[in-house]
Amino acid sequence: MMMMALIVGGLMLLLAGGEVLVRGSVGVARKLGMSELMIGLTLVGFGTSMPEMVTSLQALSDGAVGISVGNVIGSNIANVLLVVGAACLISPIVINLRALSRDGLVMIAATILFAGVLWFDGFTRPMGILFVVLLLIYLAVSVVLDQRKGSPVAAVHSGEAETVETHEPLWLALLLAVGGIAGVILGARMLVTGGAELARTVGISETVIGISIVAIGTSLPELVTSIVSAAKGRADVALGNVIGSNVFNILGIMGVSAAVYPFSIVSGPSSAAGDKPLDVAALSYGPGESLISMQDMGALALSVFLLILFACTERKIARWEGAVLLAGYALYMAFSFDLIPRFTG
């Protein structure tokens, strides 16, 4: 009973804390004169990904590598299959191909880089710092390009900011931002504690908990933001939010996590990174086994492929394609919980 209370309470705090954090930080930024473009490019994307960030750091500090990495993989899969799928059912997403060609290519490149580092078990501190530097370069280039007149992406990022309505005075916005941070931190701690206990009790891996319960919980801010955007007729903003969130999850969350707590996803002395200065070792499986299966990485790659494929056909993602994405997510969850035989990698 206590375990489930921690999980449910943690999920609720993550959702509420993430929402309040975004609202408060956007309110402060507007009072200080920051443009809607900058707010959408930085605060909205970062704010909706803050639950994943804090949860991954909390998991690594507790030694739960599977929950940390599984959270990022599962969140990126959920962002595409669940969030975009749900948004499409409400309103088909009309695609700006010029915008997709820039941010979409960055998402593909980040995913390939992430897969390569996972394959070689290379999340050391220097690699984490490199990921963060790449994210900062991406943001800097985006700011320069989006400030040009007629930028196809600027309207999308500005639209992300416009979905957040704030009318609070500066002092209240600051209070909301601080309260949101506190809620996210407490919620992450509760969720990781309850998730790890659930894994031990039920006898499933922490990675499965990370890619399912934890990932869905930390993706709730993106889901809420995307549904609200689609309901307001700005489904293109929902897609932009998902792409930006996926890039930040990989480069930002995994980068900061590895920089703070260098980790290995391969358990035992045969780890490929065994001779590197790691702070957190994988303990969930037997010696030499990876916490991340080929099935998980295949699902991540397939979700990105389907997103780009659907976006490039007829320059929109139709409702039936959204239904396909949702069905794909249900199938992946069924594989993850062995409702359908799970491939090993």
Q: Is the pLDDT of residue 105 over 60?
A: yes
Least confident of 69-83, 109-123, 202-216, 322-336: 202-216
Least confident of 16-20, 29-33, 286-290: 286-290
Q: Is the pLDDT of residue 254 over 70?
A: yes
CA distance 30 to 132: 26
Q: What is the mean pLDDT of residues 166-178?
A: 81
- In this structure, is residue 345 part of a structural domain? no
Q: Is the pLDDT of residue 323 over 90?
A: yes
Cβ–Cβ under 8 Å, residues 34 and 218: no
CA distance 251 to 256: 8
- Higher per-residue pLDDT: 301 or 147: 301
CA distance 291 to 144: 39
Q: Using 50, 70 and 90 to split pLDDT, how confident is the model at 125?
A: very high
Q: Is the pLDDT of residue 59 over 80?
A: yes
Q: What is the mean pLDDT of residues 76-93?
A: 90
- In this structure, is residue 114 part of a structural domain? yes
- In this structure, is residue 341 part of a structural domain? no
Q: Is the pLDDT of residue 294 over 70?
A: yes
Neighbours of 62 (CB within 10 A): 16
Determine the pLDDT at residue 316: 84
Bridge partners, 316 (sequence order): 94
- Domain span holding position 230: 2-336
What angle is formed at CA 22 by the lines to CA 19 and CA 25, rounded to 5 degrees? 145
> To the nearest whole percent, how much of the chain has pLDDT over 90?
27
Cβ–Cβ under 8 Å, residues 96 and 156: yes
Determine the pLDDT at residue 162: 61
CA distance 166 to 150: 27
Tell whether pTM > 0.75.
yes
Helices 45-61 and 220-231, interaxial angle, to 10°? 160
Q: For position 261, which CATH number holds?
A: 1.20.1420.30
- In this structure, is residue 192 part of a structural domain? yes
- In this structure, is residue 25 part of a structural domain? yes
What angle is formed at CA 303 by the lines to CA 300 and CA 307, rounded to 5 degrees? 145
- In this structure, is residue 49 part of a structural domain? yes
Amino acid letter, 334: A
Q: Using 50, 70 and 90 to split pLDDT, how confident is the model at 145?
A: confident
Q: What is the mean pLDDT of residues 98-123?
A: 89
Nearest of 153, 328, 135, 332 to residue 249 by alpha carbon: 135
Identify the H or E element spanning 28.
Answer: helix 2-31
| Structural domain count of the chain | 1
pLDDT, averaged across the chain = 81
Nearest of 21, 5, 2, 1 to residue 218 by alpha carbon: 21
Q: Is the pLDDT of residue 271 over 70?
A: no
